[in-house]
Amino acid sequence: MTGTRLAPLEPGTFRTALPDLLEVYLAAMRYPPGTGEARAPLWADHSRRDGFRCVAAVDEDGSVAGLAYGYRGRPGQWWYSEVARGLEGDPQGWLADYFELTELHVRPDRQGVGLGESLLRSLLGPVTTESVLLSTPEGENRAWRLYRRVGFRDVLRDFLFTGDGRRFGVLGRALPLDAQVGPPVGPAAS
């Protein structure tokens, strides 16, 4: 990570930087170029949500090497509703007070050197919700190894989101990151 700095992006700066951030997303996910144009309005909307946080990894030349962002999950949001459907009412309390890790991507030429974990830790360090949740396509890869290494555990596996034929894992863990791994503690988790 020599020469790379982590920079928090305020919502307005995030929206201005969307073309560069989406370029990293497309490269990391190996999506076709038009995908970024379709995602830009959604990402801009996310930046207006309660608790929005973004951290970017920026190289010495000003290029974006990676990013992580998310916000406080709430009833009425699409992802919340989908996961609540999968959890059949959330008897373990995962959705009671969580931060949704919406995106974490590192350019392919910068993967494998700890940048993803640095972004994750920097993003989640100041978050004060009880837990963090994320979804990621099923399959053994660097993302899964990162999430397991920092203590994420299965919340849902082989889950199908409405409108997407791919299978996803929904993973979660208690916050802060140095806290005990598991669902939130409280009446719903008993």
Domain containing 78 — which CATH number? 3.40.630.30
The pLDDT tens digits for 23-34 are 999 999 999 888
Residue 179 in 3-state DSSP?
coil
Task: Give how far Cα 73 sits from Cα of 24, 61, 95, 140, 164, Å.
Answer: 24, 34, 8, 26, 21
The pLDDT tens digits for 116-145 are 999 999 999 999 999 999 999 998 889 999
Residue-averaged pLDDT of the chain:
91
* Residue 153: count of CB within 10 angstroms of its CB: 13
* Domain span including residue 14: 5-189
* Residue 50: count of CB within 10 angstroms of its CB: 8
Distance of CA 74 to the CA centre of its chain: 15
What is the tally of structural domains in the chain?
Answer: 1
CA gap 65, 100 in Å, rounded: 22
* Strand (E) or helix (H) holding 89: none
Confidence of residue 179 (pLDDT cuts 50, 70, 90): low
Residues carrying an active site annotation:
147
Position 145 scores a pLDDT of 94
Instruction: Please say if the pLDDT value at position 188 is more than 70.
Output: no
The pLDDT tens digits for 56-109 are 999 999 999 999 999 999 999 999 999 999 999 777 899 999 999 999 999 999
